[in-house]
Chain A
């Protein structure tokens, strides 16, 4: 979503993005003239008249589980967004019985919060687990 019109979205997709992604952009390119939607999400930059690089993860119940907002010059990390969704999906699947510690990705150990784990995380989780192998 940006403040550009759907016509500019079409031109950008047809003339540039479709040369990077086969078949063009697979998801809807939303138009937010005036930044009305961006304003309610807190990402509309009034002085510049554009929207910051805001990324919101919204779960199947419509609840915002996470967001990240960057100023325009720095791009996002798609793999990190996917990792976060995988983590939220895992937590949701276990109905909150499991939590995903720092650096978690599918296949890595999760934590089971409860009275027995208090003060004993150091036994089951090591700082090196926060980093990729």
Chain B
């Protein structure tokens, strides 16, 4: 399961794992850069990722694909110590 990580001064970070999103196509006019915002789709695979986490007194690394075989609820929220 999740490997423990040492708490140092550097802030641990994670990110997407596996396939990278398709590279941006070059446009003839480089001055116009279209930003493509992506949203995941129901019925499609959830993009895999790793992220550092705090879990029961330890700092660990969590990877979504470790939870294959289980139901997962992934929740995002604006921030710690916010009120809702």
Interface positions of A (Cβ within 8 A of B): 1-13, 16, 24, 26-34, 36-43, 48, 50-67, 72-76, 81, 85, 88-89
Instruction: Please give me the residue from chain B that is nearest to A31 by CB atom.
Output: B52
Given contacts A53-B84, A64-B43, 20 further A-B contacts (CB under 8 A): A1-B51, A2-B80, A6-B7, A8-B81, A30-B53, A31-B12, A31-B14, A37-B16, A40-B47, A42-B38, A48-B78, A51-B76, A54-B75, A55-B73, A59-B71, A62-B65, A63-B45, A65-B42, A65-B43, A85-B71
How many Å lie between the Cα of A90 and that of B23 in the bound state? 39
Q: Which of A3, A28, A67, A73 contacts B60 (CB 8 A)?
A: A28
Instruction: Please give me the residue from chain B that is nearest to A13 by CB atom.
Output: B54
Q: Using a Cβ–Cβ cut-off of 8 Å, how many residues does chain B contribute to the interface with A?
A: 50
By secondary structure, the B interface counts as loop
**For the complex, is B25 an interface residue (Cβ under 8 Å from A)?**
no
Chain B positions 15-52 with a Cβ under 8 Å from a chain A Cβ = 15-16, 21, 37-49, 51-52
Q: A4-B79, A30-B62, A33-B13 are in contact. Are A40 and B49 (CB under 8 A)?
A: yes
How many Å lie between the Cα of A60 and that of B79 in the bound state? 28
> Do A57 and B77 touch across chains, with their CB atoms under 8 A apart?
no
Q: Which of A34, A57, A66, A81 has the most CB of B within 10 A?
A: A57
> Do B46 and A6 touch across chains, with their CB atoms under 8 A apart?
no
Nearest CB of chain B from residue A2's CB, rounded to whole Å: 5
> Do A60 and B11 touch across chains, with their CB atoms under 8 A apart?
no
